[in-house]
Amino acid sequence: MLELRNLSWNAPDGRDVLESVNLVIPDKGLMAITGPNGGGKTTLAKIIAGIEKPSQGRIFLDGEDITDLDVTERARKGISYAFQQPVRFKGISVKDLLEIASGDTLDEEHLCLLLSKVGLCARDYEDREVNASLSGGEIKRIEIASVLARHSKIAIFDEPEAGIDLWSFAGLIDAFEDMKGENMAQVIISHQERILRVADRIAVIEKGRIREEGSAVDILPSLLSDAKCPRCPAHGMGGEA
């Protein structure tokens, strides 16, 4: 279980991006974090991964205070982070990347299993370089496979729908649904209704605060209603839910 207690974060220009955020992420299941642009979602994901340090507040993983651990140390504790824009490497193959992620060599069978979970064939991809020759959809799937290779306690996906085509998006949804069977928590930062529909829980962040959090069954109807009848920007979410 990951627990965020009174987390705050200020941008370099002094602006309050997160203010006293409290959130509990259970051991299993898919939690979607959504809300308007600029609300602090990605910052929250980066703070969990250790990429940003909170100005206030503490983070506990299974009761252990991990606030002062860096990215490497948190990764070794079982926190994974899939980038919104996956990184490309010249000279590192898909197999290399998955082996680095898993910390071990991977045989053909294991590679096949990992890549098939994201709809890719190991034979076609294991020797491909993780470079600009991969499409947005392909590299997104490989990013997810790399998280799966890690046997994480918590996997964070920052806007996985960004920059991919519709066909790949359908495949991604399937992959996230399948992962719900894994023994880990998924945290997905997303605006996409189709992702919100497969979530178990939803947290809505607005203006740096948790506006609401609860089971998807309870939260989703009001969110969708907001999206259809956007509030006046002067009074609410700005119509970008």
Q: What is the nearest approach in angstroms of another protein to the Cβ of residue 72?
A: 5
Please enumerate in sequence order all residues whose Cβ is within 8 A of that of 20, keeping only pairs 6 or more positions apart, or say none: 6, 7, 8, 56, 57, 209
Q: What is the nearest approach in angstroms of another protein to the Cβ of residue 197?
A: 28
Q: Which is nearer to another protein, 140 or 201 (CB)?
A: 140
Q: What is the nearest approach in angstroms of another protein to the Cβ of residue 216?
A: 27
Q: Which is nearer to another protein, 149 or 205 (CB)?
A: 149
Q: What is the nearest approach in angstroms of another protein to the Cβ of residue 16?
A: 25
Q: What is the nearest approach in angstroms of another protein to the Cβ of residue 115?
A: 17
Q: What is the nearest approach in angstroms of another protein to the Cβ of residue 48?
A: 11
**Spatial distance between the Cα atoms of 1 and 24, rounded to a whole number of angstroms:** 7
Q: Which is nearer to another protein, 153 or 201 (CB)?
A: 153
Q: Which is nearer to another protein, 25 or 82 (CB)?
A: 82
| Interacting residues with another protein (CB under 8 A) | 49, 51, 70-72, 75-76, 80-81, 83, 86-87, 89-92, 96, 100-101, 103, 146, 150
Nearest to 111 by CA among 99, 103, 119: 99
Q: Which is nearer to another protein, 99 or 206 (CB)?
A: 99
Q: Which is nearer to another protein, 43 or 146 (CB)?
A: 146
Please enumerate in sequence order all residues whose Cβ is within 8 A of that of 200, keeping only pairs 6 or more positions apart, or say none: 29, 30, 31, 180, 215, 216
Q: Which is nearer to another protein, 19 or 146 (CB)?
A: 146
